Structure formats: C-alpha cells, structure tokens
Structure 1
Amino acid sequence: MSDLRAELTEGLDEAEWDWLIPHVQRDAVILVAQGLNLLDVGEAIANDNTQSVQQWIDEQLITKPSVDQVGRWNGDRQKRFNTLIVQPFVLVQEMAA
C-alpha cells in the first residue's frame, strides 16, 4: 500500500449530516456514489488523476450534493456518512440506513 493510501486510510471516518453542513456551505463537499471506493476516489483526487476523476464526473458517480439531497438530509440531522478529507474537499458517501 502506498504511503498516500495509508494516510488516506487513517483519515477515513464517519460523520453526521449536522457536522458536514459548514463544509456544504463553503461548497467543499463531494458526494461519492455507493459503487465507488471512497479511498480510490480520494487517491485519484490527491494524485490529480484527471482522467479517472473526469470519468466519474461524466458518469455522475461523484457530484456536488443537490438541493433536494441537502433538503432531505436537513430533515434527518442524524444521517451518517463515510467521510474522507482530501484538502480542500470533504468526500462523503451515504451510509445505508
């Protein structure tokens, strides 16, 4: 495992929606689809792997949270996410209910 991968693995965490709101307000949250590995996405962003990142964007596998999603999450402040910080972004993935 690369040093970057090990560092990112240590940064994996869980967060409640309430904790993520300030990051959404500064437009720093990236929503990662369930089918993607959060570490793979974080590593691609950290390594500036534009080909992979652009493919995920094109396939809408990584997106900014929509207004509808934010509205739903605001209604459930205890909703939990897997998170990974890759400065300046906070990558989030919805946890199964």
Structure 2
Amino acid sequence: YAGQENVKRDVQDFSLRMDGAEKRISNVEDDVNSEKGKTEALVKQVALLTDKLEDLENRSRRSNLRLVNVPEKIEGNDAVAFLEKWLIDDFI
C-alpha cells in the first residue's frame, strides 16, 4: 500500500502542477493575443502617419521656388535682397 500511496500522491502533485502550468500558459496566450491587437493598431497608425507626413512634405515643397541657371552662393548673406534685385534687373 505504501508504494501505491506514493504513486497516487505523485500523480496528484503532478496533476496540480499541470493545472498551474496550463493556467499560466493560458494567461500568456491571452497576453500575446492582446499584444497582437495593439501591434496591429500601431502598424495601422504608423502607416497613416507616414502617409500624412508624405502629404505634408509634398505640400511644403509646392510653396518653394526652384531657380535654375542661377549660380550657387551668389546671393551672399541676404537671399531676399538678392532675389528682389535679380528679379527686377532680369525680368522687368
């Protein structure tokens, strides 16, 4: 009987340990699923913000003037004064 009682106690202990392990695994699976949802939401948000950034960068470029056939660094320290003089001298 003593041997059987030891085996029975070992099986019960093992069963309790398995129950605990299954609960912890279930909790980890729940956490992983929760984090997957958060990750998917963040991926969508990054894509949306990337599109928005690209749109804003393109809009900001539309307001810039591109001057061709004007030598580099010719404006000196005052680009506005240079452009005013250049536009008046060359186009009016």
Task: Please tell me the TM-score bracket, short chain as reference.
Answer: under 0.3
Higher relative contact order (CA 8 A, sep 6+): 1
Comparing both structures, which one devotes a greater share of its residues to strand?
1
TM-score, reference length from structure 2: 0.25
Which of structures 1 and 2 has the bigger CA Rg?
2
TM-score, reference length from structure 1: 0.24
